[in-house]
Every structure is written in structure tokens, then in C-alpha cells.
Structure 1
Amino acid sequence: MNQVRIVAHVKRGPDEVYGMLSDFKSYPNYGGAIISVDVEPTEDGCAKVTWQAKLRDGVLSWTEKDRFDPEARTIRFEQVEGDLEVFEGTWQVETEGDGSRVSFSANFELGIPSLATFLGPVAGQALQENIQSVLTGFFGDQISFSDD
């Protein structure tokens, strides 16, 4: 299983940051990595979200189920169909000083065992670049990234 983890520090309040991250329909307006997003509310209070994103020289498509918890400021997602074998993870926004700490973590499996050793790191790097591009689009010079 491949894993991507991103930690960002944003000079904005956590409720504002969580609100922006929860607005998936706006993602194509930031960073150029996301081509399209379709959001359908589900009866259980979650959302069925269909994404198309640029991945190096191609396009990655998937549908995921997202569970929003505004009180905890978390979004949990799990792919229900799409190009990857497995894609699941969490967004979390926490108070940090007078700003916010944003954590993104995802596990993914390409579903091509014979090429996983070679393609996994490439796909992981592309996913990390796409998420950082979106976050930078949202927050501009009010964001910095760290390894912690």
C-alpha cells in the first residue's frame, strides 16, 4: 500500500480553512490539478463525489464517498469506483497558534502488482504535487508546508 501525507500551516482560522476544503466544487478553480468535480449528497449525510484530475500526462477518474465532520473538522474519503484499486484517506484541520494546521493523508493501491514498485512512488509524487497545488491555490502566500 502506498501512502501520501501532507502537512500545511495556514494563516487563517480553522473554521474558514475547513469550510474552503469542504467546498469540493470550487477545487477546479485552484491550482489547475483538478479538471472537474461533481458532488451528490447522499441519504446518510455523506456525499458521493466524482473527480477528474490531471496525473502527469493523463487523467485520473474516480468516485468516492466523503464523510464530513465539521465539529472535528475532518473529511474522510473512500473510493467506491474508479481508476485505482484503493484510494482512501482523511483531511483534518486543527487550530495552530493564530492559524491552522492542515493534514492530508491517503492510502492508495494502483492495482497493478507487477508495476507497483515503479509506479507507486511516481503516482504518490503526482498526488502530493496536485494536493499542494490546490492548497496553494486556495491560500497563496498564507500557506507553508512541512514534514511534521
Structure 2
Amino acid sequence: MPYVEVTLPVKADRGQIFPILRDMEKYPEFMADLVSVEVMERKDNTTITKWVSNVDGRIIKWTELDTFDEANLHIHYKQIEGDLKKFEGDWILTPLDGGTEIKLTVDFEFGIPMIAGLLNPILKKKVRDNSMNMLTAIKERMENPA
């Protein structure tokens, strides 16, 4: 099962970044690969969100359970339905001098064992690139507000 972890320092307080991460419906406004994110259900510290992504012309859809830890400014997400066999991870915000390190982890499984050996390295690179694009978009939004 491929696992991807990307980090990026941002010149912003983690308390300023967390609301941006939590407002997932707005991700498509500044993340090019996302077609849409729709909140289907909102409870105390969780949401169920429906995602549509366009990765190199291939539409990938999933529904995830997002769990928000306000005290630690941490988000855990886990696919509950969708195109991949497994898709889950975390947004972790760690204080740094002069800002915050944003870490995004993605643990996924394509779900077709016979071609996993061939596709996993390609998918892992694609997931890493997309994850870094997400962090870069957040960094840009925080450091250069419109």
C-alpha cells in the first residue's frame, strides 16, 4: 500500500491555517486538480464530504469522513466510499519559528492487485505531486492573500 507524506513551511500561525484546511468546500477555488468538494453532513467535530478530482483527465470520486481535532489543530480523513480501495491520512500543523509546518499524509490502495506493482509507483508520484500542489496552494493563499 503506497504511503505519501509531504511537508511545507508556511509563514503563518497554525491557528490561521487550520480554518483554511477545515473549509474543504473552498479547496477547488485554489486547488487546480479538484473539481468539487461538497459537505454532505456536518456534526460536532466531523463532516462527511464528497470529492471529485481530475487527475490528468481521469475523474476520481470518493466520499470521506473528516474528523477535526480543534485542540491539536489536526484533521484525519478516511474514505468511506469511492474509487480507491483505501484512501486516508492526516493534516498535521506543527509550530515553527516564524510560522508552521504543514504536513499532509496520504495512505492509499488502488485495489487491483494484479496491476498494483506496475501502477503503484506511478500513482505514488502522482499523489505526491498533487499533495505538494495542495500545500503550495495553501502556502500561497496564506502568504500572498488576494
Give yes or no for TM over 0.5.
yes
Number of the residue aligned with 2:22:
22
Inter-partner Cα distance in structure 1 for 2:80 and 2:135: 24
Aligned-residue offset at 1:43: 4.0
Q: Deviations over 1:58-111 (max 9, x none)?
A: 011000000001211110011000000011111111111120011111110100
State the match for 1:65 in structure 2. 65
> Do the aligned partners of 1:10 and 1:102 also contact (CA within 8 Å) in 2?
yes
Q: After TM superposition, what 4+ stretches of structure 1 lie above 4 angstroms from structure 2?
A: none
Structure with higher RCO (Cα < 8 A, 6+ apart): 1
Kindly indicate whether residue 16 of structure 2 is the aligned counterpart of residue 13 of structure 1.
no
Secondary structure of residue in 2 paired with 1:127: helix
- Deviations 1:7-38 (Å, cap 9, x if unpaired)? 11001111111111111011101131111000
Correspondence for 1:96? 96
Aligned to 1:116: 116
| Structure 1 portions without partners, runs of 5+ | 144-148
Q: CA deviation at 1:45?
A: 3.3
- One-letter code of the match for 2:126? A
Structure 2: gaps spanning 5 or more residues: none
| Partner residue in 2 for 1:146 | none
**% identical equivalent positions:** 29
What is the total number of aligned residue pairs between the two structures?
A: 143
TM-score (structure 1 length as normaliser):
0.89
Give distance in 2, aligned partners of 1:43 and 1:29: 24
**Aligned CA-pair RMSD:** 1.8
Counterpart position of 2:49: 49
